[in-house]
């Protein structure tokens, strides 16, 4: 039976996170495939990927791969009707129930071409500050997608109809960052509705926030988002790797 879901995970030296993320999908019973798109890791990332992933593609050029290039390379191998892009430090609670509900929401609304969900910290990383600062981001995506139909999403979780993704030629590979938001904007403009589905959520490590702090991280996100929207290019030549 062909997969319904193609779960695509871009990686670069994710040995400290990847196994937890991949192992979580052992509870997923519906037809699916897991694709790891690696940017040239030199740690145990690829060894972990070989134990869990169905397909692996590895970047072999001397320069650093962009996020868009990594995700598009994984999508090129995908055969599922829906493409699910997640980061290597993201956990989907109860994946069978989660994707059953997501697929039902897509079926009930054929005009929907892509959905994201709110983000929460890993339980062991949770703090009052994290809880407070996560909410404005989640509400921004709900308002932007569900009310203004503008198409916005972070890259921690994006679920997209494969045919719509391919018609839009995937992520913009020249962007050092912001390719996730730009994909949703293009889909909302040309394909149909994008939604932030508030009944579900995913958990992530908040590693960038814990490295730089919420205020600096928000500033970087806003600066880059405005640059992509107004100038068509990222505000940064390279997105700093946090491990």
SS3 of residue 31 by DSSP: coil
pLDDT band of 206, cuts 50, 70, 90: confident
pLDDT, position 214 = 76
Q: Which residues contact 135 (CB under 8 A, 6 or more apart)?
A: none
pLDDT band of 114, cuts 50, 70, 90: very high
Alpha helix stretches (DSSP H) within the chain: 18-23, 45-52, 67-77, 95-108, 128-142, 162-167, 179-190, 207-212, 214-231
Q: Tens digits of per-residue pLDDT, 149-201?
A: 999 999 999 999 999 999 999 999 998 788 999 999 999 999 999 999 999 99
Which fold would CATH assign to domain 5-231? Spore Coat Polysaccharide Biosynthesis Protein SpsA; Chain A (3.90.550)
Looking at residues 51-77, what average pLDDT do you find? 96
Q: Which residues contact 3 (CB under 8 A, 6 or more apart)?
A: 31, 32, 33, 79, 80, 81
DSSP per position, 75-132: HHH--SSEEEEE-TTEE-SSHHHHHHHHHHHHHH-TTEEEEE--EEE-GGG--HHHHH
What are the residue boundaries of the structural domains of the chain, listed by start?
5-231
What pTM, to 2 d.p., does this model score? 0.93
pLDDT, position 236 = 66
Alpha-carbon span 98 to 27, nearest angstrom: 11
Alpha-carbon span 132 to 127, nearest angstrom: 9
């Amino acid at each position: 039976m062909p997969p319904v879901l193609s779960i695509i995970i871009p990686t670069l030296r994710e040995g400290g996170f990847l196994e937890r993320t991949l192992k979580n999908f052992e509870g997923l019973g519906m037809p699916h495939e897991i694709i790891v798109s690696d940017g040239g890791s030199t740690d145990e990332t690829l060894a972990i990927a070989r134990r869990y992933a169905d397909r692996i593609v590895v970047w072999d050029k001397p320069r650093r791969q962009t996020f868009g290039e990594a995700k598009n390379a994984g999508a090129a191998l995908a055969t599922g009707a829906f493409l699910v892009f997640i980061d290597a430090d993201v956990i989907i609670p109860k994946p069978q129930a989660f994707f059953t509900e997501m697929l039902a929401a897509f079926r009930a609304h054929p005009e929907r071409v892509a959905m994201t969900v709110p983000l929460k910290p890993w339980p062991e990383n949770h703090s009052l500050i994290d809880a407070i600062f996560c909410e404005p981001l989640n509400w921004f995506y709900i308002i932007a997608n569900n009310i203004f139909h503008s198409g916005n999403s972070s890259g921690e979780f994006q679920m997209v109809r494969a045919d719509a993704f391919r018609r839009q030629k995937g992520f913009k590979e020249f962007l050092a960052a912001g390719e996730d938001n730009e994909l949703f904007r293009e889909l909302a403009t040309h394909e149909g509705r994008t939604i932030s589905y508030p009944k579900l959520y995913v958990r992530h490590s908040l590693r960038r926030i814990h490295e730089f702090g919420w205020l600096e991280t928000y500033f970087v996100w806003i600066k880059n988002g405005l640059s992509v929207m107004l100038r068509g290019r990222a505000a940064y030549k390279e997105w700093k790797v946090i491990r």
